[in-house]
Amino acid sequence: MAQSISFALLGQAQKSSDITQLLLTGAIIAGVVFAAAFGVMFLMFFNLWLRAFVTRAQISLMKLMFMKLRKVNPQIIVDAKIMAVQAGLTDVTNQGLEAHFLAGGNVRRCVQALIAAHRAKIDLNWDTAAAIDLAGRNVLEAVQTSVNPKVIDCPDSKRTGRQTLDGVAKNGIQLKVRARVTVRTNLAQLIGGATEETVIARVGEGIVSAIGSSDTHLDVLENPTLIAHAVLAKGLDAQTAFEIVSIDIADIDVGENVGARLQADQAEADMRVARAKAEERRAKAVATEQQNRALTAENRAKVVLAEAEVPRAIAAAYLAGNLRTVNSAT
Protein backbone atom coordinates (compact mmCIF):
# COMPACT_ATOMS: atom_id res chain seq x y z
CA MET A 1 0.00 0.00 0.00
CA ALA A 2 2.75 2.42 0.97
CA GLN A 3 4.73 1.44 -2.07
CA SER A 4 1.83 2.21 -4.42
CA ILE A 5 1.34 5.59 -2.79
CA SER A 6 5.01 6.45 -3.23
CA PHE A 7 4.83 5.48 -6.94
CA ALA A 8 1.80 7.76 -7.40
CA LEU A 9 3.52 10.69 -5.72
CA LEU A 10 6.62 10.08 -7.83
CA GLY A 11 4.49 10.11 -11.02
CA GLN A 12 2.79 13.37 -10.04
CA ALA A 13 6.16 14.94 -9.30
CA GLN A 14 7.43 13.78 -12.67
CA LYS A 15 4.37 15.32 -14.43
CA SER A 16 4.81 18.58 -12.50
CA SER A 17 8.45 18.68 -13.49
CA ASP A 18 7.55 18.13 -17.15
CA ILE A 19 4.95 20.93 -17.06
CA THR A 20 7.44 23.27 -15.42
CA GLN A 21 10.02 22.40 -18.04
CA LEU A 22 7.50 23.05 -20.82
CA LEU A 23 6.53 26.39 -19.32
CA LEU A 24 10.18 27.33 -18.93
CA THR A 25 10.87 26.33 -22.51
CA GLY A 26 7.89 28.37 -23.73
CA ALA A 27 9.00 31.35 -21.71
CA ILE A 28 12.51 31.08 -23.14
CA ILE A 29 11.16 30.84 -26.67
CA ALA A 30 8.85 33.83 -26.09
CA GLY A 31 11.71 35.78 -24.60
CA VAL A 32 13.93 34.93 -27.57
CA VAL A 33 11.19 35.98 -30.00
CA PHE A 34 10.54 39.20 -28.10
CA ALA A 35 14.27 39.90 -27.88
CA ALA A 36 14.64 39.24 -31.59
CA ALA A 37 11.70 41.52 -32.39
CA PHE A 38 13.05 44.17 -30.06
CA GLY A 39 16.45 43.82 -31.66
CA VAL A 40 14.96 44.25 -35.13
CA MET A 41 12.96 47.28 -34.01
CA PHE A 42 16.02 48.64 -32.25
CA LEU A 43 18.14 48.31 -35.35
CA MET A 44 15.32 49.80 -37.43
CA PHE A 45 14.84 52.91 -35.30
CA PHE A 46 18.27 53.28 -33.71
CA ASN A 47 19.43 55.98 -36.12
CA LEU A 48 16.22 57.97 -35.64
CA TRP A 49 16.39 57.58 -31.88
CA LEU A 50 20.04 58.60 -31.84
CA ARG A 51 19.29 61.74 -33.87
CA ALA A 52 16.42 62.62 -31.55
CA PHE A 53 18.57 61.96 -28.50
CA VAL A 54 21.53 64.10 -29.52
CA THR A 55 19.21 66.97 -30.55
CA ARG A 56 17.14 66.78 -27.36
CA ALA A 57 13.94 66.10 -29.32
CA GLN A 58 12.67 63.90 -26.45
CA ILE A 59 11.44 60.99 -28.54
CA SER A 60 12.16 57.62 -26.96
CA LEU A 61 12.71 54.36 -28.77
CA MET A 62 9.40 53.01 -27.49
CA LYS A 63 7.57 56.05 -28.88
CA LEU A 64 9.13 55.40 -32.26
CA MET A 65 7.93 51.79 -32.14
CA PHE A 66 4.43 52.85 -31.14
CA MET A 67 4.41 55.37 -34.01
CA LYS A 68 5.06 52.52 -36.41
CA LEU A 69 2.20 50.55 -34.91
CA ARG A 70 -0.11 53.58 -35.25
CA LYS A 71 0.88 53.86 -38.95
CA VAL A 72 2.68 57.14 -38.38
CA ASN A 73 5.86 57.82 -40.33
CA PRO A 74 8.54 58.18 -37.61
CA GLN A 75 11.00 59.78 -40.04
CA ILE A 76 8.67 62.74 -40.67
CA ILE A 77 7.85 63.20 -36.99
CA VAL A 78 11.51 63.08 -35.90
CA ASP A 79 12.63 65.51 -38.61
CA ALA A 80 9.82 67.94 -37.76
CA LYS A 81 10.48 67.74 -34.02
CA ILE A 82 14.21 68.28 -34.51
CA MET A 83 13.54 71.36 -36.64
CA ALA A 84 11.14 72.71 -34.01
CA VAL A 85 13.56 72.10 -31.13
CA GLN A 86 16.52 73.62 -32.95
CA ALA A 87 14.42 76.68 -33.85
CA GLY A 88 13.34 77.17 -30.25
CA LEU A 89 9.64 76.37 -30.70
CA THR A 90 8.07 75.25 -27.46
CA ASP A 91 4.43 74.56 -28.39
CA VAL A 92 5.18 71.75 -30.86
CA THR A 93 4.53 68.40 -29.16
CA ASN A 94 4.93 64.82 -30.32
CA GLN A 95 1.21 64.22 -29.88
CA GLY A 96 0.35 67.28 -31.96
CA LEU A 97 2.68 66.20 -34.75
CA GLU A 98 1.24 62.69 -34.82
CA ALA A 99 -2.35 63.95 -34.74
CA HIS A 100 -1.70 66.32 -37.64
CA PHE A 101 -0.05 63.54 -39.64
CA LEU A 102 -2.96 61.17 -39.05
CA ALA A 103 -5.40 63.96 -40.07
CA GLY A 104 -3.70 64.18 -43.47
CA GLY A 105 -1.82 67.42 -42.87
CA ASN A 106 1.64 68.40 -44.03
CA VAL A 107 3.70 68.24 -40.83
CA ARG A 108 6.95 69.51 -42.33
CA ARG A 109 5.30 72.52 -43.98
CA CYS A 110 3.54 73.50 -40.76
CA VAL A 111 6.79 73.37 -38.78
CA GLN A 112 8.60 75.36 -41.46
CA ALA A 113 5.83 77.97 -41.36
CA LEU A 114 6.12 78.21 -37.57
CA ILE A 115 9.88 78.65 -37.83
CA ALA A 116 9.50 81.41 -40.44
CA ALA A 117 6.86 83.15 -38.32
CA HIS A 118 9.02 82.83 -35.20
CA ARG A 119 11.99 84.41 -36.98
CA ALA A 120 9.81 87.23 -38.32
CA LYS A 121 8.21 87.89 -34.91
CA ILE A 122 4.76 86.95 -36.22
CA ASP A 123 2.25 85.61 -33.72
CA LEU A 124 1.45 82.12 -34.98
CA ASN A 125 0.97 79.01 -32.85
CA TRP A 126 0.82 75.35 -33.75
CA ASP A 127 -2.97 75.02 -33.53
CA THR A 128 -3.54 77.91 -35.92
CA ALA A 129 -0.93 76.67 -38.38
CA ALA A 130 -2.39 73.16 -38.32
CA ALA A 131 -5.91 74.51 -38.85
CA ILE A 132 -4.78 76.61 -41.82
CA ASP A 133 -3.01 73.62 -43.34
CA LEU A 134 -6.01 71.30 -42.87
CA ALA A 135 -8.24 73.97 -44.43
CA GLY A 136 -6.33 73.52 -47.69
CA ARG A 137 -4.29 76.72 -47.53
CA ASN A 138 -0.52 76.78 -47.93
CA VAL A 139 0.47 78.03 -44.50
CA LEU A 140 4.15 78.38 -45.42
CA GLU A 141 3.30 80.51 -48.45
CA ALA A 142 0.96 82.57 -46.27
CA VAL A 143 3.72 83.31 -43.77
CA GLN A 144 6.16 84.14 -46.56
CA THR A 145 3.62 86.49 -48.14
CA SER A 146 3.06 88.10 -44.77
CA VAL A 147 6.81 88.74 -44.46
CA ASN A 148 7.41 89.55 -48.12
CA PRO A 149 4.25 91.10 -49.67
CA LYS A 150 3.39 90.06 -53.19
CA VAL A 151 2.12 92.12 -56.10
CA ILE A 152 -1.14 91.31 -57.90
CA ASP A 153 -1.99 92.64 -61.34
CA CYS A 154 -5.44 94.19 -61.64
CA PRO A 155 -6.99 93.06 -63.86
CA ASP A 156 -5.38 89.64 -64.08
CA SER A 157 -5.21 88.97 -67.82
CA LYS A 158 -4.49 85.27 -67.25
CA ARG A 159 -7.82 84.80 -65.46
CA THR A 160 -10.14 87.28 -67.12
CA GLY A 161 -8.48 87.87 -70.50
CA ARG A 162 -8.85 91.63 -70.08
CA GLN A 163 -5.84 93.92 -70.24
CA THR A 164 -7.29 97.08 -68.69
CA LEU A 165 -10.03 98.37 -66.43
CA ASP A 166 -12.30 100.74 -68.36
CA GLY A 167 -14.01 103.63 -66.60
CA VAL A 168 -15.82 106.71 -67.88
CA ALA A 169 -15.48 110.14 -66.25
CA LYS A 170 -18.42 112.51 -65.91
CA ASN A 171 -17.42 114.37 -69.09
CA GLY A 172 -17.85 111.14 -71.09
CA ILE A 173 -14.18 110.34 -71.78
CA GLN A 174 -13.16 106.72 -71.27
CA LEU A 175 -9.96 105.87 -69.37
CA LYS A 176 -8.16 102.53 -69.56
CA VAL A 177 -6.25 101.72 -66.36
CA ARG A 178 -3.89 98.96 -65.24
CA ALA A 179 -3.07 98.76 -61.55
CA ARG A 180 -0.68 96.76 -59.36
CA VAL A 181 -1.91 95.86 -55.89
CA THR A 182 0.58 95.00 -53.16
CA VAL A 183 -0.89 92.68 -50.53
CA ARG A 184 0.32 90.68 -47.58
CA THR A 185 -1.36 87.79 -45.84
CA ASN A 186 -3.60 88.47 -42.86
CA LEU A 187 -3.04 85.31 -40.83
CA ALA A 188 -5.85 86.16 -38.42
CA GLN A 189 -8.42 86.00 -41.27
CA LEU A 190 -6.76 83.35 -43.41
CA ILE A 191 -9.28 80.73 -42.27
CA GLY A 192 -12.59 81.65 -43.87
CA GLY A 193 -11.29 84.83 -45.49
CA ALA A 194 -11.91 85.67 -49.14
CA THR A 195 -9.23 84.75 -51.64
CA GLU A 196 -7.11 86.70 -54.11
CA GLU A 197 -9.86 86.75 -56.74
CA THR A 198 -12.10 88.72 -54.38
CA VAL A 199 -9.40 91.33 -53.78
CA ILE A 200 -8.88 91.78 -57.54
CA ALA A 201 -12.63 92.14 -58.13
CA ARG A 202 -13.05 94.68 -55.33
CA VAL A 203 -10.08 96.76 -56.42
CA GLY A 204 -11.30 96.75 -60.03
CA GLU A 205 -14.74 97.88 -58.94
CA GLY A 206 -13.23 100.61 -56.78
CA ILE A 207 -11.06 101.93 -59.62
CA VAL A 208 -13.97 102.07 -62.07
CA SER A 209 -16.10 103.83 -59.43
CA ALA A 210 -13.33 106.35 -58.69
CA ILE A 211 -12.97 107.20 -62.37
CA GLY A 212 -16.73 107.57 -62.72
CA SER A 213 -16.89 110.02 -59.82
CA SER A 214 -14.26 112.32 -61.39
CA ASP A 215 -15.58 115.49 -63.04
CA THR A 216 -13.25 115.22 -66.03
CA HIS A 217 -10.70 112.74 -67.28
CA LEU A 218 -8.09 115.47 -67.02
CA ASP A 219 -8.29 115.34 -63.23
CA VAL A 220 -7.39 111.66 -63.27
CA LEU A 221 -4.62 112.11 -65.81
CA GLU A 222 -3.20 114.98 -63.78
CA ASN A 223 -3.14 113.05 -60.51
CA PRO A 224 -3.64 109.26 -60.85
CA THR A 225 -3.03 108.81 -57.12
CA LEU A 226 -6.55 110.13 -56.56
CA ILE A 227 -7.81 106.76 -57.74
CA ALA A 228 -5.52 104.85 -55.38
CA HIS A 229 -6.48 107.00 -52.38
CA ALA A 230 -10.19 106.67 -53.15
CA VAL A 231 -9.91 102.89 -53.40
CA LEU A 232 -7.83 102.50 -50.25
CA ALA A 233 -10.30 104.62 -48.28
CA LYS A 234 -13.07 102.07 -48.92
CA GLY A 235 -11.39 99.29 -46.93
CA LEU A 236 -11.72 96.72 -49.69
CA ASP A 237 -9.64 94.14 -47.81
CA ALA A 238 -12.31 93.56 -45.16
CA GLN A 239 -13.19 89.90 -44.60
CA THR A 240 -10.40 88.77 -46.90
CA ALA A 241 -7.25 86.76 -46.24
CA PHE A 242 -5.09 89.69 -47.36
CA GLU A 243 -4.24 93.19 -46.24
CA ILE A 244 -3.83 95.76 -49.02
CA VAL A 245 -0.53 97.57 -48.55
CA SER A 246 -0.71 99.88 -51.57
CA ILE A 247 -2.40 100.36 -54.93
CA ASP A 248 -0.23 101.74 -57.73
CA ILE A 249 -1.50 102.87 -61.12
CA ALA A 250 0.86 101.20 -63.58
CA ASP A 251 -0.64 102.61 -66.77
CA ILE A 252 -3.50 104.88 -67.81
CA ASP A 253 -4.64 105.61 -71.35
CA VAL A 254 -7.42 107.70 -72.86
CA GLY A 255 -10.04 105.70 -74.69
CA GLU A 256 -12.93 106.81 -76.83
CA ASN A 257 -15.35 109.63 -76.16
CA VAL A 258 -18.15 107.52 -74.79
CA GLY A 259 -20.23 110.56 -73.89
CA ALA A 260 -20.19 111.91 -77.44
CA ARG A 261 -20.98 108.49 -78.84
CA LEU A 262 -23.87 108.10 -76.44
CA GLN A 263 -25.15 111.58 -77.32
CA ALA A 264 -24.90 110.76 -81.02
CA ASP A 265 -26.73 107.51 -80.45
CA GLN A 266 -29.35 109.36 -78.43
CA ALA A 267 -29.73 111.98 -81.14
CA GLU A 268 -30.11 109.25 -83.75
CA ALA A 269 -32.69 107.57 -81.59
CA ASP A 270 -34.54 110.87 -81.05
CA MET A 271 -34.50 111.51 -84.80
CA ARG A 272 -35.95 108.08 -85.46
CA VAL A 273 -38.64 108.73 -82.89
CA ALA A 274 -39.42 112.12 -84.46
CA ARG A 275 -39.60 110.52 -87.91
CA ALA A 276 -41.90 107.87 -86.60
CA LYS A 277 -44.16 110.47 -85.01
CA ALA A 278 -44.14 112.59 -88.19
CA GLU A 279 -44.99 109.54 -90.25
CA GLU A 280 -47.80 108.81 -87.83
CA ARG A 281 -49.15 112.35 -88.19
CA ARG A 282 -48.85 112.15 -92.00
CA ALA A 283 -50.69 108.86 -92.04
CA LYS A 284 -53.44 110.37 -89.89
CA ALA A 285 -53.67 113.38 -92.25
CA VAL A 286 -53.91 111.12 -95.30
CA ALA A 287 -56.56 109.07 -93.59
CA THR A 288 -58.51 112.22 -92.71
CA GLU A 289 -58.21 113.48 -96.28
CA GLN A 290 -59.52 110.19 -97.62
CA GLN A 291 -62.38 110.33 -95.16
CA ASN A 292 -63.22 113.89 -96.28
CA ARG A 293 -63.14 112.86 -99.94
CA ALA A 294 -65.43 109.97 -99.20
CA LEU A 295 -67.78 112.29 -97.33
CA THR A 296 -67.74 114.77 -100.25
CA ALA A 297 -68.56 112.02 -102.73
CA GLU A 298 -71.35 110.86 -100.45
CA ASN A 299 -72.79 114.37 -100.25
CA ARG A 300 -72.57 114.77 -104.02
CA ALA A 301 -74.47 111.55 -104.44
CA LYS A 302 -77.16 112.86 -102.14
CA VAL A 303 -77.38 116.10 -104.23
CA VAL A 304 -77.73 114.08 -107.43
CA LEU A 305 -80.46 112.02 -105.81
CA ALA A 306 -82.17 115.18 -104.68
CA GLU A 307 -81.92 116.69 -108.18
CA ALA A 308 -83.45 113.53 -109.62
CA GLU A 309 -86.47 114.00 -107.39
CA VAL A 310 -87.24 117.53 -108.81
CA PRO A 311 -88.64 116.39 -112.22
CA ARG A 312 -90.66 113.76 -110.46
CA ALA A 313 -92.13 116.35 -108.15
CA ILE A 314 -92.94 118.69 -111.08
CA ALA A 315 -94.62 115.88 -113.00
CA ALA A 316 -96.66 114.86 -110.00
CA ALA A 317 -97.74 118.47 -109.47
CA TYR A 318 -98.68 118.82 -113.10
CA LEU A 319 -100.76 115.69 -113.02
CA ALA A 320 -102.44 116.82 -109.85
CA GLY A 321 -103.25 120.16 -111.43
CA ASN A 322 -101.30 121.99 -108.91
CA LEU A 323 -99.25 123.81 -111.51
CA ARG A 324 -100.61 127.06 -112.78
CA THR A 325 -99.32 129.84 -114.89
CA VAL A 326 -98.68 133.00 -113.03
CA ASN A 327 -99.81 136.13 -114.84
CA SER A 328 -96.96 138.37 -115.50
CA ALA A 329 -99.18 141.39 -115.20
CA THR A 330 -100.36 140.20 -111.93
Task: Give pLDDT tens digits for 133-191.
Answer: 998 888 888 888 888 888 888 888 777 778 888 888 888 888 888 888 888 888 878 77
- Identify whether 303 is part of a domain: no
Average pLDDT of 289-298?
88
Tens-digit pLDDT profile for residues 65-80: 888 888 888 889 989 9
Q: Which of 78-92, 217-231, 257-271, 311-325 has the lowest mean pLDDT?
A: 311-325
- Mean per-residue pLDDT, 248-277: 84
What is residue 330's predicted lDDT score, i.e. its pLDDT? Answer: 43
Amino acid identity for residue 84 in this structure: A
Residues 6+ apart with CB under 8 A from 86: 55
Band of residue 106 on the pLDDT scale cut at 50, 70, 90: very high
Note whether 71 and 171 are same-domain residues. Answer: no
Q: What is the mean pLDDT of residues 107-123?
A: 90
DSSP state of 117: H
Residue 312: half-sphere exposure toward Cβ, Cα within 13 Å: 5
Phi then psi for residue 216, to 5 deg, are -135, 160
List the Cα angle 67/131/190 in 5-degree steps: 155
Q: What is the C-alpha separation between 40 and 49, in angstroms, rounded? A: 14
Q: Identify the domain boundary among 80, 114, 147.
A: 147
Q: What is the distance between the alpha carbons of residues 321 and 83, in angstroms, rounded to a whole number? A: 147
Q: How many domains does the chain have?
A: 2
State residue 233's pLDDT score: 82
Does residue 240 belong to any structural domain of this protein?
yes
Given pLDDT bands bounded at 50, 70 and 90, which one contains residue 100?
very high
Is the pLDDT reported for residue 32 higher than 60?
yes
Q: 176 with 232, same domain?
A: yes
For residues 283-289, average pLDDT: 89
Domain boundary among 107, 132, 147: 147
Q: Is the pLDDT score of 255 beyond 70?
A: yes
pLDDT over 70 at 11, yes or no: no
Query: Which residue range(s) make up the domain with 63?
Result: 54-147
Q: Would residue 310 count as lying in a domain? A: no
Contact yes or no for 52/59 (Cβ under 8 A): yes
Residue 188 lies in a domain: yes
88 and 126 in a single domain? The answer is yes
Percent share of the chain, pLDDT over 70? 87
80 vs 7, residue with greater confidence:
80
User: Residue 229: is its pLDDT beyond 70?
Assistant: yes
Highest-confidence segment of 2-11, 35-44, 313-322:
313-322
Instruction: Tell me the pLDDT band of 329, cut-offs 50, 70 and 90.
Output: very low
pTM for the full predicted model: 0.60
User: Is 228 a domain residue?
Assistant: yes
The pairing of strands 173-185 and 165-168 is antiparallel
Q: Contacts from 9-12 at CB under 8 Å and sequence distance 24+?
A: none
Same-domain pairing of 195 and 104: no
In a domain, 102, yes or no: yes
